Amino acid sequence: MRILFVGDVFGKPGRDALLRWLPGFCEERAVDFVVANGENAANGAGITTRIAQRLLDGGVDVITTGNHVWRQKDIYPFLAADERIVRPANYPVGAPGRGLTVRPAREGGEVAVVNLAGDLYLHSGMSPFRIVDRLVEEAQQLAETILVDLHAEATSEKVAMGHYLDGRVTAVVGTHTHVQTSDARVLEGGTAYVTDVGMTGPRDSVIGVRTDIILQRFITELPQRFEVAEGPVRLNAVLIDSDGGRATSIGAIDSVL
């Protein structure tokens, strides 16, 4: 099984670049399953139903999200109805949507995708460690291949989750910081891991936002209205190979489109 996981898709530049690049890459590299984090796909803050549908129609099999998923209320009914999009499972009961989904891969088999939010600095309401055992046990009953997206601020929380789930899931990938880390590897138990996949969005920016706006915010310490930057897009992703649910390799992708 070959899985492509695409880092946080930021605004129109990120999603347009991804949709142009994705079909050719998947054909060339024989990708079986595509997951993309889409919580910043709508102008850098949340995701809408229209944008989610466009990503899914363009070749993404499952969309994961994070702490900004609630920014666009338009997505709430879609979260509740469509199994191809997930939100962090450790948000309060009653929030629309689900934190675990299972979807078919292109060449047979199924992939379970679990979405979690970090609690350190993001204050998700519940530590992901309190809920992940139940989710993994449920996923193991449904699919051989299991991918976990931990959308978290703290590096320590993501590294700890990788070790905690090593040998029980196929991959643990971190998202949220928009900067790709250089620690992609397969852990001893056979779980692929990377602290942060990175961002698919404007390269010449401050994590997707116009640089001049962010500089003014830091210099003046006054609120600023964020705007998505323009220009070349940096596409960050990881490509994961697995056999029988155990990862055999993970490679980082860092391309400018």
pLDDT tens-digit profile of 55-100? 999 999 999 999 999 999 999 999 999 999 999 999 988 899 999 9
For residue 164, is pLDDT > 90? yes
For residue 128, is pLDDT > 90? yes
Query: Is 178 among the residues known to form the active site?
Result: no
Protein fold of 2-256: Purple Acid Phosphatase; chain A, domain 2 (3.60.21)
Q: Quick check: 83 and 98 in contact, CB under 8 A?
A: yes
Confidence of residue 124 (pLDDT cuts 50, 70, 90): confident
Structural contact between residues 229 and 38, judged by C-beta atoms closer than 8 angstroms: no
Average pLDDT over residues 156-160: 98
Give the pLDDT confidence score for residue 94 in this predicted structure: 87
Domain residue limits, the chain: 2-256
- The gap between the terminal CA atoms of the chain, to the nearest Å, is 26
Cα distance between residue 173 and residue 245, in whole Å: 15
List, in sequence order, every beta strand (DSSP E) within the chain: 2-6, 8-9, 33-37, 62-64, 100-104, 110-117, 145-151, 171-175, 185-186, 192-194, 199-202, 233-243, 246-256
Q: Which of 68, 151, 176, 178 is catalytic?
A: 68
